[in-house]
Structure 1
Amino acid sequence: MQTRYGGARDVLALIKDLPVVPPSAHEVQVQVRASSINPIDWHMLEGNRRLITRRRFPFTPMFDLAGVVTAVGSEVTTFSVDDRVYADNEIHGGGGTEYVNVPEDLLAHAPAGLGFAETAAIPLAAQTALTCLDRGDISPGTRIAIIGASGGVGHFAVQMARAAGAFVVGVSSARNRDFVLKLGADEVVDRNETDLTAQYGANSFDVVIDTVGGRNQWLQARHVLRQGGRFVTISRDEDGVVTPAAIVRLLTTITVRRIQGAGKRGIKYIPVFLKASRSLLRRVTALVDNGHVTPHVARTFPLTLAGLRQGIEESRAGRTAGKLVLER
């Protein structure tokens, strides 16, 4: 349970014997068996996003969850007790508790054949990746570069782009080259040794998906994208605490880059802000069930207070290939 804003070791506490609240009419009660860590979890924990979404304490953190249905609301018809389910529970959190009520429209039946740990690795990152591909208008023959190809969102985006018939170039560190190739990338660029501009030159790509952030990603993409190309990003030019000044800079940046990209020949600047949904998660489920997408769990921690603290520290280090998961 989170008691205030701050570092994981300072603001998380174990609270036992919490009352189990019955689900409302359109909610499903889930016994959480696993949860996964995303950067937004520790950003929210530390209060870096409090200007956008303020938490009321105490708050149970973690958005991604997988588990078993234990009760359904009076108006719920899609789910039944004992169903295996998963969700990105958005602003509600709850992945760090034993029982949580999830809005029906955020929940989907778990992919067949996956354990709870693998299932929990999917929701937020895979829905974000699929949204990026949708916004990038990926189709057979599209030439796409994915910056941060080995990360949580990136490793899903590589697989989804490959399944869509695109020619995929992954941008990652050398140590993750084989991993990214195994995901289905046609080629891999070592981000520490070269960049897309030096490797491929102008007019080389239709789409660049950026999962890393920083102004340099946009500048680099402008050199390699064809006329009418699309730069799709889930990150900002600057990371850290969101302040009023940072919001103004972000809105100004988006506006200016969109104006610069106006017209058929302009390079489109497309920021992505995930809106999780059951319909989107069902599309992800279909890709997993059809063998097109496989979540990669880099490391599993126990779903305990100590495990959560350790997992968040590892996530903050930013060197993970795939996802970090907590499992009960």
Structure 2
Amino acid sequence: MTTDSAARTQHAIVQTRYGDVRDVLALATDVPVTPPVAHEVQVHVRASSLNPIDWHMIEGNRRLITRRRFPFTPMFDLAGVVTAVGSAVTAFTVGDRVYADNEMNGGGGTEYVNVPVDLLAPAPAGLSFTEAAAIPLAAQTALTCLDQGGVSAGTRVAVIGASGGVGHFVIQMARAAGAFVVGVSSARNLDFVLGLGAAEVVDRNETDLPTKYGADSFDVVIDTVGGRNQWVQARRVLRPGGRFVTISRDEDGVVTPAAIVRLLTTITSRRIRGAGKRGIKYLPVFLKAAHPLLQRVTALVESGQVVPHLARTFPLTLEGVNQGIEENRTGRTVGKLVFER
């Protein structure tokens, strides 16, 4: 292992139990700084960003799927500088600028965090740490949606939730692939979504996709919002053999055994109905973050085809994180919320 950091302890925002964010997050001043193991890289965190999954996990809404051991440092997305590398790491050296979705291990609220090397990538050239931190989870999810939907040149794509964290990346990536892209958003975000590369924008408060376009209008509908209504609308506008790609469930909130049964039943029944060349394919996306996927995102960013939009930045402090989560919970965020040192 090589290192330029002699720190033994650090300040970190930690989750002490499940519950309301302001009740269960605290600032710890003596969290140990541990050296990376063979296939890990230690990163001095300079910025991190917020995703809805962060506060869902803090509140315990997903504990039935993934339980946490406390204390836990939240926020999966991070960007910073390499301060140490494990004995088996050859792709990174001390001083490298990097970013990652640290998957289920979090760490965006620490000063120093160890990241598995297969989740890490060099931060895009020309971007600040704040801009880079906005990218990993949302952009990898967006690119996975395009892969699942088979989006390419000439594909007609509708994106539901076009101005959100994942949606604003989907619009840009689909446009970069040569697709004809329609965004579904509110009127107040019309210019923003058009600026991302959408050819047209549907005001969700005034009309819907079936009313605006009719049957057989799209090859792919990508849903970043969730709710049964999105599936119902998509079936009315997709062509035979079309693909409905979604990152969300029909119902949000706490995952219970009954909710898991409903989810699996829904996925199975919709896939059965979509069997055959003329059926509508139902394709739920569950992100598996990985170095190769993040490298593809990096290439799109460095080519200028994808630009992260920062809705607002907060200090990477306990109060800053509390404020960011409160804002994200409103569901009105345009782009990403980012925390910076």
Q: TM-score range by the shorter chain?
A: over 0.9
Residue 286 of structure 2 corresponds to: 273
Does 2:252 correspond to 1:239?
Answer: yes
Q: 1:123 aligns with which of 136, 145, 158?
A: 136
Q: Work out the CA distance in 2 between the residues paired with 1:239 and 1:18.
A: 33
Q: Work out the CA distance in 1 between the residues paired with 2:167 and 2:20.
A: 26
Q: 1:95 aligns with which of 108, 114, 119?
A: 108
Gap regions ≥5 residues in structure 2: 1-13
Residue 9 of structure 2 corresponds to: none
Q: Work out the CA distance in 1 between the residues paired with 2:188 and 2:130.
A: 24
Residue 202 of structure 1 corresponds to: 215
Q: Work out the CA distance in 2 between the residues paired with 1:252 and 1:134.
A: 24
Residue 225 of structure 1 corresponds to: 238
Q: Which residue identity is paired with 2:130?
A: A
Q: 2:337 aligns with which of 313, 324, 327?
A: 324
Residue 282 of structure 1 corresponds to: 295
| C-alpha displacement of 1:321 | 0.5
Does 2:22 correspond to 1:9?
Answer: yes
Q: Work out the CA distance in 2 between the residues paired with 1:28 and 1:7.
A: 32
Q: Which residue identity is paired with 1:277?
A: A
| C-alpha displacement of 1:17 | 2.5
Residue 71 of structure 2 corresponds to: 58
Residue 313 of structure 1 corresponds to: 326
**What do the CA deviations read for 1:205-243 (whole angstroms, capped 9, x no partner)?**
000000000000000000000000000000000000000
Residue 183 of structure 2 corresponds to: 170
Q: Work out the CA distance in 1 between the residues paired with 2:268 and 2:31.
A: 46
Q: 1:214 aligns with which of 227, 234, 240?
A: 227
Does 2:142 correspond to 1:143?
Answer: no
Which structure has the highest strand share of the two? 2
Q: Work out the CA distance in 1 between the residues paired with 2:118 and 2:127.
A: 22
The DSSP-based 3-state class of the residue aligned with 1:300 is strand
Q: 1:302 aligns with which of 292, 315, 318?
A: 315
Q: Work out the CA distance in 1 between the residues paired with 2:134 and 2:331.
A: 16
Q: Work out the CA distance in 1 between the residues paired with 2:33 and 2:242.
A: 50
Q: Which residue identity is paired with 1:73?
A: G
| C-alpha displacement of 1:18 | 1.6
| C-alpha displacement of 1:7 | 1.3
The DSSP-based 3-state class of the residue aligned with 1:317 is coil
| Structural RMSD (CA) | 0.4
Q: Work out the CA distance in 1 between the residues paired with 2:101 and 2:316.
A: 17
**What do the CA deviations read for 1:109-138 (whole angstroms, capped 9, x no partner)?**
000000011100000000000000000000
Q: Work out the CA distance in 2 between the residues paired with 1:7 and 1:278.
A: 33
Q: TM-score, normalised by structure 2?
A: 0.96
Q: Work out the CA distance in 2 between the residues paired with 1:174 and 1:249.
A: 33
**What do the CA deviations read for 1:63-90 (whole angstroms, capped 9, x no partner)?**
0000000000000000000000000001
**What do the CA deviations read for 1:40-69 (whole angstroms, capped 9, x no partner)?**
000000000000000000000000000000
Q: Work out the CA distance in 2 between the residues paired with 1:203 and 1:96.
A: 46
Q: TM-score, normalised by structure 1?
A: 1.00
Does 2:305 correspond to 1:292?
Answer: yes
Q: Work out the CA distance in 2 between the residues paired with 1:49 and 1:131.
A: 22
| C-alpha displacement of 1:19 | 1.6
The DSSP-based 3-state class of the residue aligned with 1:231 is strand
Residue 158 of structure 1 corresponds to: 171
Percent identity reads: 82
Q: Work out the CA distance in 2 between the residues paired with 1:293 and 1:200.
A: 27
The DSSP-based 3-state class of the residue aligned with 1:75 is coil
Q: Work out the CA distance in 1 between the residues paired with 2:30 and 2:262.
A: 45
| C-alpha displacement of 1:92 | 0.4
> Segments of 4+ in structure 1 off by > 6 A?
none
Does 2:36 correspond to 1:23?
Answer: yes
| C-alpha displacement of 1:105 | 0.2
